[in-house]
Structure formats: C-alpha cells, structure tokens
Amino acid sequence: MIAVKQLSKTFTAKKKGGSGSSAQTVRAVDALDLTWEKDEFIAVVGESGCGKSTLGRILAGLIPPSQGSIELDNVPMSQVLSQRGRPWSRVVQLIPQDPYAAINPVRKIRSLFRDPLLYHHRVAKSQVDLRIEELLAMVGLDPKNVLDKYPHQLSGGQRQRVVVARAMTVDPGYLVADEAVSMVDVSLRIGIMDHLKKISTERQLGLLFITHDFRVARYIAQNGTIAVMYLGRVVEQGPSEEILGHPMHPYTQALLSAVPILEGREERVNDVVPLRYEVSAHGERGCAFASRCPFADQTCRETSPPLTIVQAPDHSVACHYAESRSVVIDRSQIS
Amino acid sequence: MFPSEVGTLKAVEDVSFVVHAGESIGIVGESGSGKSTVAFALFDSVPAPGEIAQGEIHYFGQSNFLQWPESKQREVFWQKVAMVFQAAQNTLNPLLRIRQQILDIADAHDMDGTRILRTARDLCTTMYLDPDRALNAYPHELSGGMKQRVSIALALLLNPALVVLDEPTTALDVISQASVLRILNDVRKSRQLSLVFITHDVSVVSEIVDRVIVMYAGRIVETGPVRQVIQQPKHPYTRGLLGSIPPLRGDLSQTRALSGQPANLLHLPAGCPFQDRCPDRFERCTVETPVIVKDPASHREVACHLFHPETEERAQ
C-alpha cells in the first residue's frame, strides 16, 4: 500500500516587472491525503491545472514534494532503497502522456528496452531479447514489426503501447498513467486501456490513471475508485459507480454535466454550470471552488470544507452542503 | 493528393457534400481519415506538396471556387466563409494585443476600424468574454478556453455565412468545451450560421450538428441525420467507432476496441478500405469498393455492400 499524507507541492515563479521582482507561489498539490492499495485501480479526474499530473510525478518519484510524506507499506519513500532494497523507480513507474515526446527519436525500440533491463539487472544479457519480445507481446505488439524501428516509424497507438511496455521493464508494483490515451484515436483507446487493465490485474499492480475524461475514468476504474481533484485537493472520492451515479460535490456535478453525450443514445442529467468557465486561484480561506460554485454562500467563502466520509462505506466529499446538494441519478430512467 | 517519397497519397477521395444555409454538419473520422484535408480544400489551401487533383467547390451557387483567381478568392475568406483552425489558440499572433489583430483584419478588408472594434466588443460579450480584458490582452494572458473563444469571435467578425471549425474544442477542458459548444449553438441559431464542424470525437458532434459525415481512409462511409446515425449506425466502421466510446452509465461490457490499425493510405487494399478491421467482411468486400448508396426515405447514405435501403425500410 502506498500512503500519501498531507502532500503539498508548491512552485515558485519569479515575477518580473515594474515594481521589482516578487515571487508568486502556486500550490499545485495542497495537503492531499490518499491511500492506494496494492491492487487498487484509482482514476484521478480533473481539469488542466488541478495538480493531477504533479501528483503523478511526485508519486513516481520524479519530483520531490514540498511537504508531507509518501510511504510504501509504512516505509518512508527515502528509506525504501535501504530497507527494501529497491529503488523507487522499481516501486512506481510513470507512463507519460505524450508518446511522441517520451521516446528518444534517434534510438531504435530495441535499445529503448535494453538499457533499463540491463541497468536494473532484470535479466541476464543473453536473455534480453527474449524479455523484450515478451514485454512487447504483453501490450499486443508484434515484436518483429517494431523492434528494429525508430519511433517515427510507428503510429501513435503503437508508440503508446511501447511506452506502456517500457514501464513494465523494471517490474514495478504500481503504475501511474498520466493521460495515457488522450493522444490516441478514440477507436484505439479501449485497446490500450484493456492491455493496461489486464497487465495490472494479472500482476496485481496498483494502477493510478490520471485523466480529464469521465468516460475513460469509468472504464479504467470499473470496480475501483474515482478521485476528483480541484486546485490541488481531492474534492470527492469513492467507488467509481457511486461517484458517477451519486455525485455530491458541485464541481463533480459540473464536470459530469459537461461531458458531451451521445444524443440519441444517452440522456443528459442535471445541468450544473459553474459561474465561471475559467479556474480561478483561491485565497487562503474558504472552499477552493467557492468562487465558481453556483451554490456558494458565506460559510463556503470563509471555511474550507475537509474531505469527510458522507456516504458509507467510503464516499467522501469536501463540501459543506454535500448531503443537501446530492443528486441521485435514477438509473431506471436512463435508456 | 499528397505526393510523397513512397508514392502519391490520396488523402481524400470522392468526397461530396452540400451545406445548406443555417445547417450545421459534422465531419467525423480518426487521424488520417482526411477530415482536415477536406477543411483545407474548402479554402483551396491544401498544404504543399499536396494538391487538389479533382473536384469542384461552389459557394452560394457561384462558379467553381477552385478556379477563381486568388484575389477573388480572398474576398470570400472571412467575409463569406471563415475557418477556426485546429489548436486555434496558437493561430493568434503572440506579439500583438487582440485589439491590434482585429484592426489588422479591418485593414486587410478595407473596413472601418472603429466599427469593427464595436462588433468585436459585442462578439466578446456573446462569447462570455469581458471585452475590455479580452481586447487589451496579449494571447498569453488568456486561458486556452478564452483564446479559443477569441478565435471563434475573430472568425465571426466579418459576419460570414459559413464557418469551418477544425477540432475547435480538442485542446480544451471539459467545462471549457461545454461552454464553447453551448456558445456555438446559440450563435448558430441567432445568426442563421452554417457550420462545418470537424472532429474525431463523435460525442462532441452529436450536440451541435444536424447531419454527420463519417469519413474513413479519405472517403465518406456514412452520412445522415446525427441522431439517427448515432442511434442506428449502418456502416460497420460507424458501429465500431460508437461501440468504442465507454458509456457514462449503464453497461460497460459492450464497449469494445475497434480491432486493427487505422488504414494506411499508401497501402490501401483492393476493395473496401475498411475490410481489414471489419467484423462483417465477406468475399465481395475484398474485390469491389462499395459505392455510397442513398436511402431516400431516411436521407441516409452508406458505403457498404451490406446496406440495402429497400430491405432496411421493410425491417423498420
């Protein structure tokens, strides 16, 4: 289990301008708590700028948190190497968003896999090629067709599969996939997600899938968890069908009602339109969503609501009025 | 056609459609389906080395636009037909305030700057933008959604009758996307605007267009009223495409990936271009390319050997 406690990440941007230089601080992740079980699928949903990618990069050990801790089975991140004998990169692997930028364009696919396999001593030298073929087959690629090609000779979907396979070279226990299908054609997304789900299920990996798309989130976290992020915090979290069928936070409701629906196949539900389309930074006090929330009142602007369990067993919401505002979507009315 | 080192690539073949006044049509297809090439062709500006090998475009009942001299073509751009490009937020000049870019447009079309700025202010309000802020801003001072709305406002500036939008919401967040779609729908109705909306995402199109054109490997495989096509897709590709979109509610088990890879335009098989991925393929598909057949009763057109309008009718 990976436990994230009170995790914060701030970025400081130097503001240059007339009145000297003053630093501007952006809180990308704000005192976030998260537990991630060993074989749990979590879909993190949010808009750009909500801190979901920053969270993913911190979890993958690519950037250090500003505050808070991350523990693997009660061992702090910094001591995992000495106590468990594996570097963090073998605990959590990141599948990056852009399969065009994530692969070195001047090296063949074969060498992309060789180096991590040999560096981390995953296989004997004589076995390398065999292992690479296994990895590629795992994501549904024919090794013969890709091994000796350069990245530019592959299609977007093939590249995304290569990136998924590469993350598996070091046998990680957890995978963080950051918008791993958003650059791929709609018709090919399901195929890649199916492979990702299959690999994770078979090896009992934890899968944290970062996305802005509720349809993708639902498909990945079918029996798992959905966490909705807004300005660095989780505002709502729970079993995926519970979140989709019974959203309680006004932001979740707004996001869900903004998903384009297939007219004629699906029906639109309760429209919740935020007051402003743009995300606006919030001050020290109050609920982060208050400035856009159509239901906000004085309490919302003054006190920040904590993430609390509202609906047993584990549907938690950070909203003062979660229960009174909750909307039950009646499944029987949806054809 | 795009000549390339490995042979000439036909990005679009035999695509015909009509857009009526006030009508909005959607062109849907995956990457490489030729949908953006169609958009460029509408402006006779297919990027080099590509060229339009054949075909005609008639705007508002006039002669073939493709044969007009460039100077005459220019008169049509923005005044009659405007385009919002893919990632339109990047088409704004980063060094100029929005106001200046609007004045440049006025200049290029010999129009009165003050009057155009007044129109621009109105348009900003329609787009839920604060006119003072938007007009005085440099592009980097606006968010992605705001830039996209600015580019749509620019396209509407000279009051065109037809606007072509190439993936106008792809780079946006869901909430911004919903706002842009809502605005486009309002504007379309209030101005009797014709829209050609190009996207890879069928669900986006279903909310804004009357009629949808589904393209595959450079050809039209299915057209029809959007609701009907989504409810009862006739072409196996349309069916596969719709079946690969996970529903927000209800049964997920029917969601399936379309098998195979998108068609390689340089190595199209003889016969139907979709045959390699088609679950319903039979012998005829490998020899004969299906032509588009129209069902006069439902106004639907499908290019598939399995589509027979007469029996369809009886079945309904």
B245, B252, B261, B300: which to substitute to probe chain A, counting the most A Cβ within 10 Å?
A: B245
pLDDT (0 to 100) of residue B140: 86
Residues 262-291 of B with CB under 8 A from A: 262
Could you tell me which chain B residue has the CA closest to the CA of A273?
B175
Tens-place pLDDT, residues A140-177: 898 988 999 999 988 888 899 999 999 999 999 999 99
pTM: 0.86
CB-CB under 8 Å, A48 with B179? no
pLDDT (0 to 100) of residue B315: 45
The values of phi and psi at residue B265, to 5°, are: -65, -20
Query: Which amino acid appears at position B268 of this protein?
Result: L
From the number of C-beta atoms within 10 Å of its C-beta (0-12, 13-18, 19+), residue B117 rates as middle
CB-CB under 8 Å, A278 with B146? yes
Whether pLDDT at B2 is above 80 = no
CB pairs under 8 A between A and B: 129
Which residues are within 8 A (CB) of A107 and not within 5 positions of it... i.e. 6 or more apart?
A150
Residues linked to residue B254 through DSSP beta bridges, in sequence order: none
pLDDT (0 to 100) of residue B25: 94
What average pLDDT does this structure show over B255-273? 83
CB-CB under 8 Å, B179 with A262? no
Tell me which chain A residues have a C-beta less than 8 angstroms from the C-beta of B256: 190
pLDDT (0 to 100) of residue A330: 43
CB-CB under 8 Å, A263 with B206? yes
Cβ atoms of B246 and A190 closer than 8 Å:
yes
CB-CB under 8 Å, B144 with A48? yes
pLDDT (0 to 100) of residue A70: 96
Query: Mean pLDDT across chain B, nearest whole number?
Result: 86
pLDDT (0 to 100) of residue A268: 73
- Closest-CA distance, A139 to chain B, in angstroms, reads 14
Distance CA B133, CA A58 (A): 36
CB-CB under 8 Å, A244 with B207? no
Tens-place pLDDT, residues B66-122: 888 888 888 888 888 998 887 766 788 889 999 999 999 888 888 888 999 999 998
Q: Which residues of A touch B (CB under 8 A)?
A: 47-48, 155-158, 185-191, 194, 212-216, 218-219, 222, 244-245, 254-266, 274, 277-279, 329, 331, 334
In this complex, the residue of B206, B245, B257 whose CB is nearest that of residue A194 is B257
Distances in Å between the alpha carbon of A35 and those of A59, A204, A208, B236, B301?
12, 16, 11, 43, 52
CB-CB under 8 Å, B255 with A259? no
- Closest-CA distance, A267 to chain B, in angstroms, reads 10
Angle between helices A109-119 and A128-138 (to 10 degrees): 110
For chain A, 335 residues long, give each residue's pLDDT as a single digit of tens. Answer: 999 999 999 988 766 554 555 667 888 999 999 999 999 999 999 988 889 999 999 999 999 999 999 999 999 999 999 999 889 999 999 998 888 888 999 999 999 999 889 988 888 889 999 999 999 999 989 898 899 999 998 888 889 999 999 999 999 999 999 988 887 888 888 999 999 999 999 999 999 999 999 999 999 999 899 999 999 999 999 999 999 988 999 999 999 988 998 877 887 766 777 777 666 666 668 898 998 888 889 999 999 999 999 877 889 999 998 877 665 544 443 33
Tell me which chain A residues have a C-beta less than 8 angstroms from the C-beta of B245: 186, 215, 262
Distance CA B158, CA B183 (A): 18
Cβ atoms of A258 and B177 closer than 8 Å:
yes
pLDDT (0 to 100) of residue A13: 74
Asked casually if ipTM beats, i.e. exceeds, 0.85, the reply is no
CB-CB under 8 Å, B202 with A266? no
Tokens representing A49 are: 């700028």
Whether pLDDT at B238 is above 90 = yes
